[in-house]
Amino acid sequence: MRAYIRRACVPAVLLSAVVLAGCSSESDSGDSVASQEPAGEAPAEGAAVDTSESASSSAPGPVLEVGETGEFATGETDESGEDYKVTSTMSVKVVSAEYVTAEQVDMSKEPENGQYVKLTLTLKNVGDAPAKIMTYGRMEWEDTDTAAQGASTLEGIGDGRSVDSWYKPGQSVTGHLILDVGDEGGTVSYNGSEDPNAEGPVFSVNLPE
């Protein structure tokens, strides 16, 4: 009788195992389908990101050393501040960069950031339409240890002609900017683009150390 009971239990155990295996298989299959659904949505999300990143924008301008010349585009937006269009081209030559004291440039106070630099530039409209340059409040300085900081000064042009002006095609100006920077070296940049999607400064100058 005992042997009979043992033999009868074996099929029951096997039957239970089959039932459990079937449930497990159905559960795994359901999990597999569920995990694949988000994966199917991922490319659509990626495509949306790519579309937004492909919006038209101005590339960063030239990074110049003293004595070098580069060119950058100028333009304007519509009345709503959108639909930026390039209208002309300017050239900029870095004539010199000289570290000076407040007394040397007739400044009324000592530099707040640490050091004055007298940056001499020659700007020329080499395009076919007028171009506007306004550096005040749009000059920044940074180095490897310091994030970008405003460098414009109220007495910013020093002696000579101002580079802030409307330039007709063919017109040029050589003038000075007195900038308040953190230290000798680093980079000063003009961030005066009208493009709301500009990817970087209009132009930059590496200062001598």
Helix H or strand E encompassing 206: strand 203-206
Instruction: Quote the radius of gyration of the chain (alpha carbons, Å).
Output: 33
On whether both 137 and 112 belong to a single domain, the answer is yes
On whether both 102 and 123 belong to a single domain, the answer is yes
What mean pLDDT comes out for the span 174-191?
A: 96
On whether both 27 and 127 belong to a single domain, the answer is no
Instruction: Let me know: does 121 contact 94? Beta carbons within 8 Å.
Output: yes
On whether both 90 and 67 belong to a single domain, the answer is yes
On whether both 33 and 117 belong to a single domain, the answer is no
Over the stretch 141-164, which tens digit does the pLDDT of each residue have? 999 999 999 999 987 665 568 899
More confident residue, 132 or 51: 132
More confident residue, 105 or 8: 105
What mean pLDDT comes out for the span 166-177?
A: 96
Q: Characterize the bridge pairing of strands 131-133 and 165-167.
A: antiparallel
Amino acid identity of 96?
S
Distance between CA 86 and CA 66 in Å, rounded? Answer: 27
- Would the pLDDT of 33 be above 80? no
Q: In sequence order, what are the residues at sequence separation of 6 or more whose Cβ sits closer than 8 angstroms to the Cβ of residue 176?
A: 118, 119, 120, 121, 157, 158, 159, 160
**117: confidence class by pLDDT, cuts 50, 70, 90:** very high
- Retrieve residue 91's tokens: 């050239």
Picking from 87, 69, 203, 74, the residue whose alpha carbon sits closest to that of residue 138 is 203
Number of domains in the chain: 2
What is the pLDDT, as a whole number, of residue 158? 53
On whether both 48 and 98 belong to a single domain, the answer is no
Domain of residue 48: give its range: 1-54
Share of the chain above pLDDT 90, in %: 61
On whether both 12 and 68 belong to a single domain, the answer is no
On whether both 99 and 195 belong to a single domain, the answer is yes
Tally of helices (H runs) and strands (E runs) in the chain: 1, 11
What mean pLDDT comes out for the span 192-202?
A: 92
Over the stretch 74-97, which tens digit does the pLDDT of each residue have? 999 888 878 899 999 999 999 999
What mean pLDDT comes out for the span 48-68?
A: 70
DSSP label of 105: T
Helix H or strand E encompassing 165: strand 165-167
Average pLDDT, the chain: 80
On whether both 50 and 75 belong to a single domain, the answer is no
DSSP lists the bridge partners of residue 40 as none
